[in-house]
Amino acid sequence: MQTATKHISPDTAVTSGVETTGFRVLGAISFAHFLNDMIQSLILSIYPLLKGNFNLNFAQIGLITLTYQITASILQPVVGIYTDKHPKPYSLALGMGFTLVGLLLLSIAPNYGLILLAAALVGTGSSIFHPESSRVARMASGGRHGLAQSIFQVGGNAGSSMGPLLAAWIIIPHGQTSIAWFSVAALLAIGILWQIGNWYKRKRQEATAKPAKSGHAHVLLPRKKVVLSISILLLLIFSKYFYMASLSSYFTFYLMSKFHLSVQDAQIHLFIFLFAVATGTVLGGPIGDKLGRKLVIWVSILGVAPFTLMLPYANLFWTSVLSVIIGVILASAFSAILVFAQELVPGKIGTVSGLFFGFAFGMGGIGAAALGKLADLTDIYFVYQVCSYLPLLGLAAAFLPNLEKLPHEVS
């Protein structure tokens, strides 16, 4: 066993100052995540409107998602690495400022090029928001890391689920310019994130004023095993988010084409799916804290395969039922995967969070673009048949180590 040193890393410092789970802070960062992802989900939710207004094909629709996701994907690891060394408590509010500008530009964009620019600005805001907000959640966790990440994540997923409803109720009837009304939500989020920045700053000052407490256990694994485990986790993220792209970006088109639903009715079905995703997110973290994260990862990715394989052949009723089951099971994985990765690489919370959020966004964007092109070349039904096999990659989870059974060191 190693004893604690007087050196205080950013993550150790802020964590050591938190004795109990800070539910007020977790609630605030979760609500900010709700507002952030609600705004971002509007991009996906207004695809039918944009497709009609600008005469876009599926490949161009996919490129919008790709622009947004890739911007977030490339920048998030960079932001995470930088803030591990130089924490920026008020960067959260700054990130939301980029989202606000992108939202306003989207509301007045007269052509496809400016729509892509607006999507890039929203992606930039997301790239700044997620690594640092994930660090805040861990700081306030009081050691209950899975629970904290689930509370944080459920805010984002609940916000994403609201996008289709808001689009159906407000944007579709009133047109593209009504997107600007949601700038109020962005301004509210900036105010909340500024207050969270104040808390973040105080905690760092308190932590650096006294030595770090001992008792932080780190998993002992060879470097090669860590690299292999991270690679497996990224493969599982690929499986999850490539499949999620087929539902989040094209589910409304699938329902409208196969079952002849109206745009508003299809948006309601998308909301039901996204709400199921939010529900699943709540479950994954706490179950992982109690039963082990590897079990949650295994069940979440591979366990959803029978339902995804049935989805392309179901009628409307069973499509709705299966989408709920898929959303709940598949969404439970991310919190467990993220905390698992953070435990593999201790002291690098921002880097790990940026890598996994960024990779998830990137896979979602690439998936949306690739699946859009595939839909143009074939049809939307074939896309869902192909994607139904992706969860079988969950078999790779068998090669992950059981962290709870491994030796630890205390620093």
Tens-digit pLDDT profile for residues 305-315: 999 999 999 99
Question: What pLDDT score does 7 carry?
Answer: 35
Residue 219: phi and psi, rounded to 5, are -70, 140
Residues whose CB is less than 8 angstroms from the CB of residue 341 and which lie 6 or more positions away in sequence, other chains included: 230, 233, 352, 355, 356
Contact 275, 328 (CB under 8 A): no
**Highest-pLDDT range among 266-270, 384-388, 405-409:** 384-388
Question: What pLDDT score does 322 carry?
Answer: 95
Mean pLDDT score across all residues of the chain: 81
Q: What is the pLDDT of residues 178-199, one digit of tens each?
A: 888 988 999 999 999 999 989 9
Q: What is the pLDDT of residues 117-133, one digit of tens each?
A: 999 998 888 888 888 88
Residue 217: phi and psi, rounded to 5, are -90, 135
The more confident residue out of 213 and 398 is: 398
The more confident residue out of 289 and 329 is: 329
Q: Name the CATH superfamily for 10-410.
A: MFS general substrate transporter like domains (1.20.1250.20)
Q: Please tell me the total number of residues recorded for the chain in this structure.
A: 411
Nearest to 309 by CA among 295, 321, 324, 326: 326
- Token couple for 8: 């205080």
Q: Indicate whether 409 pLDDT > 70.
A: no
Question: What pLDDT score does 281 carry?
Answer: 78
Q: Indicate whether 213 pLDDT > 60.
A: no
Mean pLDDT value across residues 300-309: 90
CA 281 to chain centroid: 10
Contact 375, 254 (CB under 8 A): no
Question: What pLDDT score does 280 carry?
Answer: 82
Q: How far apart are CA 358 and CA 130, in angstroms?
A: 9
Q: What is the pLDDT of residues 326-365, one digit of tens each?
A: 988 888 887 888 888 888 888 788 788 888 877 887 787 7
| Per-residue buried b or exposed e for 223-245, using 16+ beta carbons within 10 Å of the residue's own CB | eebeeebbebbbbbbbbbbbbbb
- Which of the four pLDDT bands, split at 50, 70 and 90, describes residue 220? low
Question: What pLDDT score does 147 carry?
Answer: 81
The more confident residue out of 94 and 74 is: 94
- Which of the four pLDDT bands, split at 50, 70 and 90, describes residue 250? confident
Question: What pLDDT score does 408 carry?
Answer: 46
- Which of the four pLDDT bands, split at 50, 70 and 90, describes residue 68? confident
